[in-house]
Structure 1
Amino acid sequence: MKKERRLFGKGLMTLMILFFYLPIIFMIVFSFNESKSLTNFTGFSLKWYTHMLESNDMVSSLYTTFSVAIIATIVSTIIGTITAIGLSKSRKVVREIVTQVNDLPLMNPEIVTAIGLMLLFITFQIEKGYITMLLAHIAFCIPYVMLSVMPKIKSLDPNLADAAMDLGATPWQALTKVMVPQIMPGIISGALIAFTMSFDDFIISYFVTGRGVKNLSIMVYTMSKRVNPSINAISTLVVVLITIVLLIVNVLPMIRNSKKEKAEKQPVQKSRRKGSLLALLLVVVVAGASFFGLQHMQNGAGKFKGQTLHVYNWGEYTGQEVIPMFEKQTGAKVVMENFESNEQMYIKVANGDSYDVIVPSDYMIERLISEDLLQKLDKSKLNCMDLLSDGVKGLPYDPNNDYSVPYKGDIYLYDSERDSFMMALKALGYSMNTKNENELQEAYEWLVQCVETMEPEIVTDEIIDNMA
């Protein structure tokens, strides 16, 4: 019976390990796939790693993710540790009040914290970007550090610091050489939790950032409808970096400990753990900064050099080569932010975020105009109006095209009889559920005319890739 239980336990553990690690292995394998397919491996290739390094968005988001996580971890660990030690020497009433305040962000829904921080920055007219993201991450990491450190402090003898000072230590020495070493496991645990929370955060980061600053979570979210295989490459890179950190933190000290007495080796082990971890993280930041700088140095030297174009667009509307080609041709830098719905875009614009170009839908353009959130176009600088069909100009939401210009592109028809006939019947003013043979014949002729006169691309689900 016991043997059967052990076998069942091992089998269950094996299934759990497979459940957690198979998706990671799958992602790593398909990061080397030659095609865009996420289900069919067509051949080995490093093309997606090349695309990743050539993508300013991906490299800068990787740099932002690591730099914010590292700085937020260091600052929140210092503040959280000092606060926890201070509370241990405070009156009970003060300690209980601060503890309740510290627990509130942990219990609060993350979306509420995100909106609260966003409104705070808006109220004090702080321009959202890297600094606001960093401040927000520090704020929500501090409670986790305190939560990890305070139990360790409670387990200490309350007279420990006084005893150290009675023996001749200064208050600073009592803190750094007596108390901190005793609570170091709690500090390290708090720092690791803070780093993980910061690295993984999306909701708070999304609401407090701006001016094109985004971390990996935001970048992946904006591409959620059409996953770029380069995401597999950058995710694999992150997995490799984390694996290296784990090896340095765990394996090397174990090898060293096998050579000497554990009692003699333990202090060195801790210092080397921290030193190795810090050194590796600094290497990551420097590498990210180097890539980030390299991308910016590759901008062209056109007549708009030094200028920045801020664009707010749908997450799947821009091909990989569009922005690099535009920057090379004009010399300007493009800061692209993405949204997944008109309402999502409206929240940011209505709360003071400004952009040079936004791409909303018709009803949202009308709302933005009515709320005076759009600036009128300087038509003397537009040379595209004569190239557009009259059918897409002067639409009801902007009759004079004072605020908006439709964009011109190729024509696509969806390769589905049902959808195409519904479109044709709607265009002709008939019911999409009609059974009238004459109306169906007229719709058929309408579709034939479309194909013969406009030469559209007839596609299925690959329409988005074709458009890009």
Structure 2
Amino acid sequence: MKKFIQRFYLILILILLYSPIVTLIVLSFNNSKTRAKWGGFTVKWYASLFQNQDIMNALYTTLIIAFASAFLATIIGTAAAIGIQAMRKSVRTPIMAVTNIPMLNADIVTGISLMLLFVAIRFSLGFTTILFAHITFNIPYVILSVMPKLKQTNKATYEAALDLGASPIYAFFKVVFPDIFPGISSGFLLAFTMSLDDFIITHFTKGPGVDTLSTKIYGEVRKGIKPEMYALSTLLFVSVLLLLFVVNLSPSDKENKKVVKHRKQKQFIFRRLVPALLLLVLIGGGIFYGRSSNLTGKEQVIVYNWGEYMDPEVLDLFEEETGIQVVYEEFETNEIMYPKIQSGAIAYDVVCPSDYMIQRMIENNLLAELNYDNIPNAKNIGETYFIQSKQFDPENNFSIPYCWGTVGILYNKTMVEEPIDSWSVLWDEQYKDNILMQDSVRDAFGVTLKYLGYSLNSTDLDELEAAKKLLIEQKPLVQAYVIDQVRDKMIGNEAALGVIYSGEAIYTQWENENLEYVIPKEGSNVWIDSWVIPKNSKNKENAEAFINFLCRADIAKMNFDYITYSTPNDAARDLIEDEALKNSPIAFPPKEDLERCETFSFLGDENDALYNRLWREVKSN
């Protein structure tokens, strides 16, 4: 019985550890883009992986940052350890205490501190800042690895070498270095591993167009991970597994000859192979990176857009037609985007905020006025949308509408008892653990305020407290607070109800015919996302050329086909051949539905802080 329990426990642990990896491997062979359904066996994601420039750039950046930062941190850390060891004990002890602080601090403290330092000295965030940050982060770990070996060295041996006529450098490399080499190699491996796996430090110190695998995966988690990433993760897992097999099959330490041979192999690896590999990665990766990154010396436009909010082919066409290179970065919410623009640490050229956030950026003098002479295709935007945009951009001086839509309820007709027409269903206990809410402060409060009969732009404290109380009451019923993940969950029948944007609803209906979208009778939000140019843009004319390109009818039609969000481009709508889609009540809702809807307004920094405080109270309750 005891053996059975032990085996059962071991099997359970293995299942918990490896079932996510097995799931990931299976998904890498799934022919469907969504994890919610099995589309048949395929290996196409492995083929497209090596054609995906973004993922390959992220992989290369990860390797080069890890190798370079570990190599430089090992040199600096070893030199620092030698210097510290030579100090008097009364000085060495406090120095070591200070050196250990970064290892005791949370990574987020180090990451934010370094970001603030770079911003304070007006150092543009990018590849260089990530490298500096990783070196800084790794040095204490190298010192920690080398110091014990230094304490074991015999100082008299080094001094004897000097007495015999050896120079200090020669004596160090022939006498001291072999003794401390195990600590140096351990420090390098530790630094390499820490850098390879790091997310927090990279997240706070990276700039536009620069991603490591960790930040790339994080960015995709909120909007849906590409199948190519499953394929890459599978290959990495298999590579590590093979490496473990090789290590475990290495020569046995029982025989002296093999031990010596094994040690020589290790010395060869760390003294010859690692530097050679580093050089190979630098040269080979530099060639690849130089072809596909901003190192080509071309004119640029740096774009900051929502995730999955533009057809990638549009970017390629723009580069081909204009010769201007697009450096493209994505964000998940307006609240994540705004601080980056406000800080001025990164000079984005084109950004796509929502209505209320545009108003906030205008009021805080963060946007440059558009030169419509450089955007003649703006004539294709319907007058209705320019009129609506005046609610947040009174003279239409700062923004050009890109997409618009509504917020409503997506429900599965096979999982609800009757058609849905009210926000009240989101508080119905029979749908406990079957409700998906938007993980966005304005959307969550907007839904609740409309349900209570108030304006979604309310600043009345009593009304907001009532909405907060209702959201807290709803929490036990909510399966998850999501953003773009609502799409896959609803397609896969993982929930009965979800608050969703209209464009996402169209896509989900193509994938699951049982899904229905409704704008509740109490009213909802009608939103507009528009292109703006930050005031600190370094490529304003290129930015206007990019916006003009997106306003072209055929390009706007391409983006509509790809993202399925309603287009304000009347000329593009005329190109839609599918009459059902062209007149879809979801993509282009009737006037009576829109009359019940409001557009979000910026309510001022004080009220914005109030909303955020109440939202934190909801999430933490």
- Contact persistence 1:59–1:292 (CA under 8 A): no
2:365 is aligned, of 342, 350, 372, to 372
- Contact persistence 1:311–1:358 (CA under 8 A): yes
The one-letter code matched in structure 2 to 1:383 is P
The one-letter code matched in structure 1 to 2:352 is V
Percent identity, aligned pairs only?
39
Change (3 A) 1:29 1:286: farther
Structure 2 matches for 1:150-169, cutoff 5 A? 150-169=147-166
Q: CA deviation at 1:367?
A: 1.6
- Contact persistence 1:365–1:397 (CA under 8 A): yes
Q: Does 1:125 align with 2:118?
A: no
- Contact persistence 1:69–1:195 (CA under 8 A): yes
- TM-score where L is the length of structure 2: 0.62
- SS where residue 261 of structure 1 aligns? helix
Q: Which shows bigger deviation, 193-202 or 305-314?
A: 305-314
CA distance in 2, matches of 1:197, 1:295: 27
Which residue is 1:318 aligned to? 310
Change (3 A) 1:161 1:15: farther
Which residue is 1:388 aligned to? 381
Q: CA deviation at 1:70?
A: 0.3
Q: CA deviation at 1:87?
A: 1.2
Q: Does 1:336 align with 2:332?
A: no
Q: CA deviation at 1:80?
A: 0.8
Aligned length: 431
Which residue is 2:402 aligned to? 407
Which residue is 1:265 aligned to? 261
2:583 is aligned, of 451, 455, 463, to 455
- SS where residue 218 of structure 2 aligns? helix
Which residue is 1:198 aligned to? 195
Which residue is 1:397 aligned to? 392
- Contact persistence 1:410–1:456 (CA under 8 A): no
Q: Does 1:83 align with 2:75?
A: no
Q: Which runs of 5+ in 2 are unaligned?
A: 412-417, 425-448, 454-519, 524-565, 567-578, 588-621
Q: CA deviation at 1:99?
A: 0.8
Which residue is 1:229 aligned to? 227
Q: CA deviation at 1:244?
A: 5.3
Which residue is 2:591 aligned to? none
Which residue is 1:176 aligned to? 173
1:137 is aligned, of 123, 134, 154, to 134
- SS where residue 354 of structure 1 aligns? coil
- Contact persistence 2:302–2:328 (CA under 8 A): yes
- Could you give the per-residue CA deviations for residues 234-257 of structure 1, whole angstroms, max 9, x where no partner exists? 223333444455556x257428x7
- SS where residue 54 of structure 1 aligns? coil
Q: CA deviation at 1:82?
A: 1.6
- SS where residue 38 of structure 1 aligns? coil
Q: CA deviation at 1:340?
A: 2.1
- Contact persistence 2:25–2:230 (CA under 8 A): yes
Which residue is 1:239 aligned to? 237
CA distance in 1, matches of 2:249, 2:163: 39
- Could you give the per-residue CA deviations for residues 146-169 of structure 1, whole angstroms, max 9, x where no partner exists? 112212222334544334434554
The one-letter code matched in structure 2 to 1:456 is S
CA distance in 1, matches of 2:420, 2:78: 62
- Could you give the per-residue CA deviations for residues 169-204 of structure 1, whole angstroms, max 9, x where no partner exists? 432233222222222222222211211111111222
- Contact persistence 2:304–2:329 (CA under 8 A): yes
Structure with the higher fraction of residues in helix conformation: 1
1:99 is aligned, of 90, 96, 101, to 96
Change (3 A) 1:22 1:175: farther
1:51 is aligned, of 26, 43, 48, to 48
- Contact persistence 2:28–2:230 (CA under 8 A): yes
Structure 2 matches for 1:352-371, cutoff 5 A? 352=344, 353-371=346-364
- SS where residue 334 of structure 1 aligns? strand
CA distance in 1, matches of 2:580, 2:168: 87
Q: CA deviation at 1:259?
A: 8.9
The one-letter code matched in structure 2 to 1:213 is V
Change (3 A) 1:17 1:354: same
Q: CA deviation at 1:357?
A: 0.7
- SS where residue 355 of structure 1 aligns? coil
Change (3 A) 1:36 1:182: same
- Contact persistence 1:63–1:285 (CA under 8 A): no
Q: Which shows bigger deviation, 399-408 or 324-333?
A: 324-333
- SS where residue 369 of structure 2 aligns? coil
CA distance in 2, matches of 1:385, 1:32: 43
- Could you give the per-residue CA deviations for residues 7-31 of structure 1, whole angstroms, max 9, x where no partner exists? 6555544443443333223323322
Q: CA deviation at 1:281?
A: 5.5
Change (3 A) 1:185 1:22: farther
- Contact persistence 1:51–1:230 (CA under 8 A): yes
Structure 2 matches for 1:203-214, cutoff 5 A? 203-214=200-211
- SS where residue 328 of structure 2 aligns? strand
CA distance in 2, matches of 1:441, 1:22: 44
CA distance in 2, matches of 1:168, 1:263: 33
CA distance in 2, matches of 1:142, 1:28: 35
- Could you give the per-residue CA deviations for residues 294-338 of structure 1, whole angstroms, max 9, x where no partner exists? 5469x9xxxxx9321101112332344443343334332111112
Which residue is 1:427 aligned to? none
The CA RMSD over aligned residues, in Å, is 3.6
- Contact persistence 2:74–2:184 (CA under 8 A): yes
The one-letter code matched in structure 2 to 1:399 is P
- SS where residue 33 of structure 2 aligns? coil
- Contact persistence 1:31–1:48 (CA under 8 A): yes
CA distance in 1, matches of 2:321, 2:249: 50
- SS where residue 400 of structure 2 aligns? coil
Q: Which shows bigger deviation, 209-218 or 387-396?
A: 387-396
Change (3 A) 1:47 1:288: farther
